[in-house]
């Protein structure tokens, strides 16, 4: 087994063990696309995992057993509601940094990822993407941070290797996510996150993600106190979007202000 396959499979196992809500999401998507899903189908999604079931029912405000939950989802709320519930549950679970490298805390990474997810989703129509897919592309754009720390915690990678392994780690992450069941749109976006911009699969969305990510990082490290103030956006990235700096910054400012789980109270 080569290094790429080995580390991708290790990450897949780690994600399955540590992030039950992450693994649930592609299963829900598959069920949404199924003709005439049944109560048994809905029950089968998380009935085997008491902890996950408890998280979903608590976050969704349900006070019922498995059968009641499945009926509520299938006949009243709908599977799209369950998908939204799973994403919100996942957002509280997956930004786990056991070693806390590079000055990035869990709360900072979570905030950056969720704001970036909403930022990309805002432009979903312009990108010709499903809104949920656009959201997940933004959410997972920085997820290789988590992957690297998980592998370093397991002593598979050396802590000092991050900068030299960023591209590899993004690829391992994308392969692990593909094995779990995420679609190509999302996995290729992860894989491309550190590639040369002109070699990416979806340059328009990558340009937006890289601009938004860079502006958010500037506020985190104290370069700029406010989004966009004094920032110089890469001209090639900006040209690829066809948008003005004012349009981009305005959206990102609004989303940053609207973020309710800020780093100071998480």
The three-point CA angle 8-9-11 to 5° equals: 65
Q: How confident is the model at residue 262 (pLDDT cuts 50, 70, 90)?
A: very low
Does the pLDDT of residue 4 top 70, yes or no? Answer: no
How many of the other CB atoms lie within 10 Å of CB of 142? Answer: 22
Q: Quick count: other Cβ atoms within 10 Å of Cβ 176?
A: 24
- Residue 265 is predicted with a pLDDT of 31
Confirm if 5 and 67 have CB atoms less than 8 A apart. no
- Per the CB < 8 A criterion, the answer to whether 118 and 255 are in contact is yes
Task: Report yes or no: 119 and 252 within 8 Å, Cβ to Cβ.
Answer: yes
Q: pTM for this one?
A: 0.91
Q: Above 70 in pLDDT, residue 239?
A: yes
Instruction: Confirm if 98 and 150 have CB atoms less than 8 A apart.
Output: yes
The arithmetic mean of pLDDT across residues 65-84, rounded, is 88
Using an 8 Å Cβ cutoff, are 221 and 80 in contact? no
Give me the helix-helix angle, 131-139 and 106-122, nearest 10°.
Answer: 150
Boundaries of every domain in the chain: 3-19+96-258, 20-93
């Amino acid at each position: 087994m080569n290094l790429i396959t080995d580390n991708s499979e290790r990450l897949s196992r780690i994600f399955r063990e540590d992030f039950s809500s992450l693994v649930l999401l592609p299963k829900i998507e598959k069920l949404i696309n199924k003709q005439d899903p049944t109560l048994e189908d809905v029950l089968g999604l998380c009935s085997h995992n008491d902890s996950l079931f408890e998280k979903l029912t608590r976050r969704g405000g349900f006070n019922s057993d498995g059968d009641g939950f499945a009926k509520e989802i299938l006949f009243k709320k709908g599977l799209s509601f369950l998908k939204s519930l799973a994403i919100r549950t996942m957002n509280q679970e997956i930004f786990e940094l056991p070693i806390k490298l590079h000055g990035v805390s869990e709360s900072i990474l979570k905030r950056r990822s969720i704001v970036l997810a909403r930022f990309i989703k805002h432009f979903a129509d312009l990108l010709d993407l499903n809104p949920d897919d656009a959201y997940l592309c933004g959410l997972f754009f920085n997820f290789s941070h988590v992957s690297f720390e998980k592998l370093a915690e397991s002593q598979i990678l050396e802590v000092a290797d991050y900068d030299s392994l960023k591209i590899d780690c993004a690829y391992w992450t994308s392969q692990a996510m593909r094995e779990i069941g995420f679609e190509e749109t999302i996995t290729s976006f992860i894989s491309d996150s550190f590639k040369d911009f002109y070699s990416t699969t979806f340059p328009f969305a990558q340009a937006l993600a890289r601009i938004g990510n860079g502006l958010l990082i500037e506020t985190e490290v104290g370069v700029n106190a406010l989004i966009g103030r004094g920032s110089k956006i890469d001209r090639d990235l900006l040209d690829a979007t066809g948008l003005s700096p004012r349009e981009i910054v305005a959206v990102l400012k609004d989303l940053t202000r609207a973020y309710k789980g800020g780093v100071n109270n998480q």
